[in-house]
A and B are shown apart, each in its own frame.
Chain A
């Protein structure tokens, strides 16, 4: 397998770009559509999810080695739920405003598809590779959440991170703050990224 030889850094990069879970595999779309309407709450959700993801990957890799194959999925789900619960508590304790903004979606990190995206390989990869994947996916998710949240906040409310940046005459496009607008913005963002990476691939092939 060629993938075995790639360095950990390259794995992070792959998870961040060509296999970016939310952008390319359309995983974790629920928080993207429901929560990412404000830049600040998106960033909070992204960081909480990414931290839980990295911790779950670390412990999943450790316990995956000693768990029989049939028991890996339930064990991994327990680990995910534990770290998602911890992330939720940290948010509630230290960032009550962010936690309030996320509402039900903060405890729901536990069932985020992002975790299950790599669940099939639990225990097969070493700790280093599992961590590299999780870091790449986590950072990719943070970037996408924040970008989408900022764009939707800008057009849907006329602000970014709560600061008014558009002239007073601007009439916000309310739909972008609704889930329907989230689908639209996510689809457009995916399209732009596909177009850009397609062009890069062409350049790489001809060079």
Chain B
């Protein structure tokens, strides 16, 4: 007889990686649709290229290193999709493709694959692209139908867009980040399907708005500008790179929000969500140490 030994708790859940990732993909669809509505089909092409590149990159990497090919868990597809939504519409195809491959091979594969990456792959790829080809990553096409080729984002020229424009997304910016309505639809879907908890996104956006307000920015505009909402909902909540305990998650999210406000106010770049979340990712293992869960069966205050 073959007895399977595993540590407690012995809870079975119907949720597999594949189901969770499928939920995230569904939640991202409104952002994709909104991106195409705002920027035209160039946006769709960019998102598709990075997604296909990420999936192919994972497939080839796992085959070359003689691992079990797990492309069907859809995690690479989610990474590629999120990366694509973080790029400006109409970015060169090789840029999107390189970013997708970098995310799954360098940031995820080399560190041991899904679950072992220490920072969010899509964000790390975006940071790499921003450092390597800044002219493409800071070149924002204007929304389709506006008489301009490129335009300043709301962060670069605050006050030039109404709150309604910021909310509905007919503004320049990355494909997925512009339409806050679409992001909120995705957020509600993720919370209702229990894919993520509301905690990290709400705490991070609130913290950024509050800290930004203290530093002299309009809190509503802070929350609705740039990639804050998109990052808070889809990237800061990455299971692998956020803390595991509830108090740790609070500190993580509030800290990330604080960093966003500080970067936007004091750094040379108008936006800082990417770096804020990456720094929060790196602090996640420390937060897990600080806020250790009481071990099952031990009394309060008793050391495990």
Contact = CB atoms under 8 A, between A and B. Distances in A.
B110 A191 contact: yes
B132 A173 contact: yes
B110 A171 contact: no
B106 A171 contact: no
Q: Which of B106, B128, B131, B132 has the largest count of A CB atoms less than 10 A from its CB?
A: B132
A184 interface: yes
Contacts of A78: none
Interface of B, helix, strand, loop or mixed by DSSP: helix
B269 to A, nearest CB: 15
Nearest to A187: B110
B131 A178 contact: yes
B133 A171 contact: yes
A175 B110 CA distance: 19
Contacts, number: 17
B133 A184 contact: no
Q: Which of A171, A178, A184, A191 has the largest count of B CB atoms less than 10 A from its CB?
A: A171
B132 A174 contact: yes
B134 A174 contact: yes
Interface size class of B (residues with CB under 8 A): under 10
B131 A175 contact: yes
B34 to A, nearest CB: 30
A174 B137 CA distance: 13
A175 B106 contact: no
B132 A176 contact: yes
Contacts of B133: 171, 173-174
A181 B133 CA distance: 13
Contacts of B132: 173-176, 181
Nearest to A184: B106
Interface string B113-154: 000000000000000100111100000000000000000000
Contacts of B106: 184
Contacts of A173: 132-133
Interface in B236-275: none
Interface residues of A, number: 10
A171 B98 CA distance: 12
Interface string A175-207: 110101100100000010000000000000000
Nearest to B95: A171
A171 B133 CA distance: 8
Contacts of B131: 174-175, 178, 180-181
Nearest to B110: A191
A106 to B, nearest CB: 27
A176 B132 CA distance: 8
Contacts of A191: 110
Q: Which of A174, A176, A181, A191 has the largest count of B CB atoms less than 10 A from its CB?
A: A174
A193 to B, nearest CB: 14
A152 B106 CA distance: 17
A173 B128 CA distance: 9
A175 B106 CA distance: 14
A180 B127 CA distance: 11
A178 B133 CA distance: 13
Contacts of B128: 175
Interface in B194-228: none
A50 B130 CA distance: 37
Contacts of A184: 106
A176 B110 CA distance: 18
Interface string A147-180: 0000000000000000000000001011110101
Nearest to A172: B132
Q: Ordered nearest first, which 7 A-B pairs have the shortest CB separation?
A: A175-B131, A175-B132, A173-B132, A174-B132, A175-B128, A171-B133, A174-B131
Given A175-B132, A191-B110, 9 more contacts: A173-B133, A174-B132, A174-B133, A174-B134, A175-B128, A175-B131, A176-B132, A180-B131, A184-B106
Interface of A: 171, 173-176, 178, 180-181, 184, 191
11 contacts: A171-B133, A173-B132, A174-B131, A174-B132, A174-B133, A174-B134, A175-B132, A176-B132, A181-B131, A181-B132, A191-B110
